[in-house]
Each structure stands twice: as structure tokens, then as C-alpha cells.
Structure 1
């Protein structure tokens, strides 16, 4: 049931039942960047073969896939690489008909769930594909993209990202004039804004210039793990005041100190407790950002796994841990997906 044997069976069974009965949302998964890489090697039906069973085992009903462009393709190939990821999804849907579908609003998400399909939502993880051309944002909207993470952990025309580790840089900036225009255009089109990877200055600018709810799709609490990728208590309060939601990230560096111990679902649950104590249970969900599959491309730390939860099937154990801490069934329905669905209803319709 649990490889560590630390969660009692009744909590696990109740969590598994909740994951089957209610919509479970993963607000950040690098699905299409991974799929495109495999398709470029000649593979087909990648989602069906490599990802669908684990998503189903975890009861995941909606994944938000990033559109992410690695540094080596920038600046010349940013637009092309993002379009290739959208194209890869359409090719995958043709090869695996009826198993998963691109969704553009919450009604389509509900329709997919009724049909037993995995719902997929698209979101920028960095606006490099748009450059400084606001008209391209409308084109991507027509292609089905609904989320805007203005930055990854680097600078672009819209804003400055927050870096994972200290780096030498000049004066940090917040939102640029173009970034402010993006926020306004997002509101006009019906797209949501995601502040994960945006630096503190940019987040403050966004709260000042944008009146709608904002998402932090895959960020934890800086009070518990002092990474700039996490949110301060003050920013968590501002996000909650906007009506936004933040998704819990399994990356060990953002959960605690992986140099001291091997982290697990208990450590991640501490972040949920912290948010609950600050603002309640209406503003937190799942944004796992599973990265162990990418470990061959980066240097591992003392513990081989980057992720404190080992893939979507084990998200049930995370929910079981929350149940064991006394979260009610009503709270859990919100945490596993209801909060993000409410956010999407307010932003993309």
C-alpha cells in the first residue's frame, strides 16, 4: 500500500476513494515538453503508453501541461518549439482517440470527466514564444492555451524570473511595460496568470496592476523551505485575497532540505498545514511538477530522487497523510481539485 508503511490502510482507502469520486487536478506537469522530446525520437502514442496509466492510478482528472522552451532553443526557436508542443498534443489525440482531450474551459473539463477522458489544459511556462508581440498571445489563445506563467527562472520581455540559486545579475526588475500589457490582455481574453517562477518584485507589481485572481501553480512556502521559488507568508496572504490558489510542488528543494534527510509526503503536508494556518483551506491544491524523469539531464544531489512523492500514483498517499492530520472530506475535495476548478471558473470560464 505504502512503500514506507507509514500510512494506515483506512486513510489510504478513503483517499483512494476520494481520488476516484472527485476531480483531482495537477496544476503543473511538464507533459508536452516530455512528449515532444520522445516524438522527435520517432515515438508515437506517448501519452497513452508512458503517462496515462500512472495518471489514472492516481485518479488525476485534469493536468495543466506547461509549454516550456529550454535555454538552448532561445531566442530563435522559442515560437517554433512551443507550436511543436501544441502540435504534438493534437497528434497524440489522433493516435489515441477518446483517451484524453484538450480543454479550453471548465465545461469542457467536466465533459471530459463524464466521458472518462483525461482533461489537458495548456499554460505557458515563460512567455519566450511570444517575445514582445502581444498579437501572438491571441494566436495562442485560439490554439487553446489558457494559462500564462510570464517567466521561467530567467528574464524575458515581460518580467524577471526568480533564480533557483544565487547568480550574478544586474538590477532586478519587476513587470515590464509589456508585462503589464500581457496581464491586461489576459483578463480581456479570458486567460489566467501564474506567478510561479516570477520574482518577488514582479509578483508585487502584478498584484498592484491586476485585479483578478492569480495562481501559483507549483510553489510552496518560503517559511518552511527558503527558496526564492517559494512564496513568503505576505505573498500567500495576497494571493488568497485575490481569490487565487497555489499548488504544492514535490521538488525536494522546495519542500525542505534534501541534504539533511530524504523528504516525503509528510514534509509536503507541512506546507499545506502552514497555508491552512495562514489563510484557510480554500487557496491550496496540487501542482506537483514531477521531475524525476528529467534527472538524467541534471546533476543529482545526495538523494537520487528530486521528488518527495514518487509519481502520480503516490499522490493518493499524500492525500492519505492529509486525512490522517484531520482534514475533513469537504476540505479534501477542495484540496485535490475543487479549489483549482473554482479558480478556473473565475478566470477562463
Structure 2
């Protein structure tokens, strides 16, 4: 049985969402737009996302550029195509801007607009060429993880969410150089998908705050996609934020207890790191998976996401309130922590 939300807490959560900035620190938006474009669809954000974003007060969405394993032979071209597709999709939307600098965050808070921040979920596509990071920066990309759940020239990823095994190996010399170049460019570093050895090395070489955009607690659910207690404390200790992942294989809600498991992760992370280092990074993939399946002439009928869409985000906030978390804490978690981080790091 999952949590049954009482009306009073849902109303309180909806009010908090309307009056305070909300952030989702990870969404595979650019890739989904490209998939739907190739199937003949246009206006993807307007059709599938904007109504939900507006309804729940989303102010900032961090869009990944994720190159699927099957596209790695033309990874650079695929990444550039995703970035172009995203920009084309939102350029006609007056209520959406691309976030590239700290002052853009300030603008989001003052105006009735939504920001999209582009970052690379894995740097396989640069193939060790650090100058490509400068190219990505010039295109508006403002962050990166070194790798996805696989190995590349820069680092070793952890295992996939559906697996549970430790991987060996850390950052290469090129990976360390990539961290340094990201810092020189004021691009944020994401350690989600990095393995444990790589995380430890990042702690040693990084001089600016890094984040985990979409990871949970390994103590709550044993997945190597989640962070250990020591990693959570290290992340918070250097000023980072961790975004709670909303995939059932990472949250551990395989029995359908989605809200309960999300709350358990968040509450534990707050206990270990404080609410100013915890946020939402739901990584909602069902819409992406439906788009991918449709392009192949198939139907995607599974559900991997703990909530069906962004319009249901207040349910998570309401569940936290109902379980005893204070409104000020929830305001930090639903957006305040990531707003402060991105305003400072960009």
C-alpha cells in the first residue's frame, strides 16, 4: 500500500508550489524531442510538458543530452542534433528561456517564465577532445557528467539501475582534465552514474561544488546508482545537492509504494545532509520510452516512473508534509536548494 494523501496536505503542497520556485534537476528532454521530431512531431514541450510545468510552478528544468549506447558511433552528431532540436522546439515559446548564466536564474524568479538548463549526461561524445567542451559551452551547455552507466575514455560508470553489482576503475587522466576544463568554463559536474572509485577521485580533484542530479540513498535502497552515507556527506560537505531520482528501480518502489519510498529517501538524505543539500531530480523516463518505442513501431506499456508526470509533483511534497516535514524544509527540497546552487555555480 502506498501513502494516501489527505486533502489538507495536498492543498498545502499545491500552495507551496504556486508560491515558491520548483526545480526538476534531471529530465531527458532533448533526446525525447529529437525522437519525436524524427517521428514527425513538433512542439513537443508545448504539447507534452508545458501544461504540467505551469500547473506545479516549475521554474527550472535541467535537460540532459543523453546519447544512447546504440548511437555512440555517431555520438557527437547525435548530441549536437539533440541540442538543436531542443532549441528549435522552445524558441517560439515566450514563456520558456534557456538558462546560461546566474542572472537568468534571477530572471526566472522575477518573471512568469520557465527556464531550461542544458547539460551532458555523459561525455562519451567528446572522445577525449577537451576543445569540444568549449564548443558545447558556446552552444549553451552548462554542465556535464563524465559518463553514464558505462565506461568511456574519461571514467567508469556504475552498473545499470536494474542491476546490482560493483564496477571497478576510476577516472582516467582525460577524465581529470575534463573536470578541470568544466570548472574553468563554470560548468557544473554531475556525479550521478559515476562508480564509487570515480566519486572518490572527483572529491580529490574537484575544486568547485559538484552535484548528483538524480540519485537516491543506498542505505534506503541498495542500488549502485544510489549514494552511500559517506558519499552523501561528502557531497553536502563541499556544497553540492542531490536530486531524488523518481525511477522505481532506483527508488526501490517495485511493489508500487512509490510515494513512500521517495519520502524515505528524501527524509534520510535530509537527516544526513540537511534539506539545503537535497532536491528533486526525478528522471521521468516513461514519456521518452514511449517516444522511442513509437519510432520503432512499438507500444511502450510499462511504467518505470514513480509519478506519471510533472503535474503530480505536489503529491511528493504533500507526502513529505503529511509525514511531518516542515514547510520550510519542503520549500528547499522542491526547488530552493537547486536554485541557490545554479545561481552560484553558473
SS at 1:152 equivalent:
coil
SS at 1:247 equivalent:
strand
SS at 2:64 equivalent:
strand
SS at 1:238 equivalent:
helix
SS at 1:289 equivalent:
coil
Work out the CA distance in 1 between the residues paired with 2:129 and 2:285: 31
Q: Is the 8 A contact 2:159 2:165 kept in 1?
A: no
Alignment deviations for residues 171-214 of structure 1 (CA, whole Å, 9 cap, x no partner): 82101101111111111110110000011110100001112211
SS at 1:222 equivalent:
coil
Structure 2 residue corresponding to 1:79, chosen from 66, 71, 76? 76
SS at 2:45 equivalent:
helix
How far residue 293 of structure 1 moved from its aligned partner, in angstroms, is: 2.2
Partner of 1:289: 283
| Aligned: 1:141 with 2:117 | no
In the TM superposition, 1:121-136 aligns within 5 A as 121-136=117-132
Partner of 1:45: 43
Structure 1 residue corresponding to 2:110, chosen from 93, 110, 114? 114
Q: CA RMSD in A?
A: 2.0
How far residue 335 of structure 1 moved from its aligned partner, in angstroms, is: 0.7
Partner of 1:58: 56
Partner of 1:265: 259
Alignment deviations for residues 261-297 of structure 1 (CA, whole Å, 9 cap, x no partner): 2122121000111112212211100000012224456
Work out the CA distance in 1 between the residues paired with 2:34 and 2:336: 30
Work out the CA distance in 1 between the residues paired with 2:323 and 2:211: 25
Alignment deviations for residues 107-160 of structure 1 (CA, whole Å, 9 cap, x no partner): 213314433222000111000221110011011111111111111111111101
Structure 1 residue corresponding to 2:173, chosen from 164, 172, 177? 177
How far residue 329 of structure 1 moved from its aligned partner, in angstroms, is: 2.1
Normalised to the residue count of structure 2, the TM-score between the two structures is 0.92
Alignment deviations for residues 7-55 of structure 1 (CA, whole Å, 9 cap, x no partner): 1112111111111111100000011100111112222111111211122
Work out the CA distance in 2 between the residues paired with 1:127 and 1:120: 20
Partner of 2:268: 274
Work out the CA distance in 1 between the residues paired with 2:163 and 2:320: 33
Structure 2 residue corresponding to 1:88, chosen from 85, 89, 100? 85
SS at 1:213 equivalent:
coil
How far residue 309 of structure 1 moved from its aligned partner, in angstroms, is: 1.6
SS at 1:215 equivalent:
coil
Q: Is the 8 A contact 1:27 1:286 kept in 2?
A: yes
Work out the CA distance in 2 between the residues paired with 1:267 and 1:166: 19
Q: Is the 8 A contact 1:29 1:290 kept in 2?
A: yes
Distance 1:342 1:149, change over 3 A: same
| Aligned: 1:322 with 2:316 | no
| Aligned: 1:306 with 2:304 | yes
Work out the CA distance in 1 between the residues paired with 2:64 and 2:331: 24
Q: Could you list the runs of 5+ residues in structure 1 that have no partner in the other structure?
A: none
